[in-house]
Homo-oligomer: A and B are copies of this chain.
Amino acid sequence: MKVVCVIGVGLIGGSFSKDIKEHYPEVKRIGIDQNEDYLKEALSLGVIEEIGRLEDVVKADLVFIAIPVDAALKVLPLVLDQVSAHAVVVDAGSTKASLCEAVKDHPNRRNYLAAHPIAGTEFSGPSAAIAGLFKGKTQIICEVEQTAFKLQEKALEVFQALGMRIRYMNAAAHDVHIAYVSHLSHISAFMLGKTVMEKEENERDIFDMAGSGFESTVRLAKSSPAMWAPIFKDNKKAVVAALSEYIKNLEHFKSLVEANDFNGLYNQMEQTNRIKDILTGLAPQHK
C-alpha cells in the first residue's frame, strides 16, 4: 500500500489513520473532510500527511469512509466512480443495508467492502482519535461475497494488522441486531439524561447526588447528534421496533411497582442478572 484516503478525519477515521501509520509507516495518508477545521487539526496532530479532495481517491490503494451515514450514502457512489481497479473502499457506518442497496448496481460494487467496526467512544473529532482503538474489537463485514476476492484479502490483512476479530453477517440482520445492542443503548442514555436534566432545574442537586452508576448509564448521551440523527433515520424500522420493546418492558416494570408486586420486580431483575455472564464473555475484546 502506498496511499490511503481517509474520508472523515474524526474519532473513527482519525483512529484508523493513526493505526495505519503504526502498521504501514511507508503509507501516505490523505485526509478528506467537509470540515476544514477538522482537516487542519488532523494535519497538525499528525493524523494525516496531506489534506485532499474527493478526486484524490483515484490515487488510493485503500479508501476508508467514516462519516455520518446520510453523507456516506452520497459519497460512496462518487468514490466508487473514481477509484482505481485495485483499490478497496471500506466504510465504518453503524448501518449497512442502505449503503449496500445504494451501490448494488454500481459498476465498481466489487471495490466496496461494507464494514462496521464495533469500536468508539462518546467523543468526536480528530482530537478524539486514539491509536489502538480497534485492537481486540470486532469488525463486522456484510455481503462479503459482493467484494472482489483480492480486495477482501487486502482489507482483511489490514484489519488483522490492527488486531481486529472478523465476523460476517447479512446486512439486514446486522441492522436489526445492532438496533438492539447499540442504537437502543444510545436512545436509552440520551433520554435518561434528558429526563434527569428536565427534573433537576438546579444542577447542583445532580452534582451532589449522582454517582458512578448514573455516569455509566448516561455516558452515551454525550455522543454526536450529527452522527446519531442519521443513524436513527437510516435504521428507522429496526430502531422503532427495539424502542417499542424497551418501552413495553419499562411500562410493565412500572405496573409491577404500582401494583406492589415485589416478587415480580425481584424476578425480572434476577433474570436480567444473567447479563453478567454475557458481559463477562465480552471482557477481553471489549475492555
Contacts and interface: CB of A to CB of B under 8 A. Distances in A.
A233 B214 contact: no
Contacts of A208: 118, 138, 140, 165, 167
A192 interface: yes
A210 B181 contact: yes
Interface stretch (A30-38, A57-65, A80-88, A269-277): A269-277
A127 to B, nearest CB: 15
A198 interface: yes
Interface string A200-227: 1001011111111111111111110110
Interface in A236-261: 236, 239-240, 242-247, 249-251, 253-254, 257-258, 260
Nearest to A189: B217
Contact of A213 (B186, B200, B262): B186
A64 B169 CA distance: 53
Nearest to A227: B269
A120 interface: yes
A160 interface: no
Give the most central of A194, A197, A243: most B CB within 10 Å: A194
Given A197-B274, A276-B222, A216 B217 contact: yes
Interface residues on A, range: 35 or more
A108 interface: no
Given A232-B257, A265-B229, A273-B222, A181 B206 contact: yes
A221 to B, nearest CB: 5
Contacts of A239: 257
A207 B243 contact: no
Contacts of A192: 184-185, 188, 246
13 contacts: A118-B208, A119-B211, A138-B211, A165-B208, A181-B210, A184-B195, A194-B249, A210-B282, A216-B219, A217-B220, A221-B269, A229-B265, A240-B257
Given A138-B211, A181-B196, 7 more contacts: A118-B208, A120-B213, A180-B196, A194-B268, A197-B274, A198-B245, A222-B275
Interface of A: 118-122, 137-138, 140, 165, 167, 174, 177-178, 180-182, 184-200, 203, 205-223, 225-226, 228-230, 232-233, 236, 239-240, 242-247, 249-251, 253-254, 257-258, 260, 262, 265-276, 278-279, 281-282, 286-287
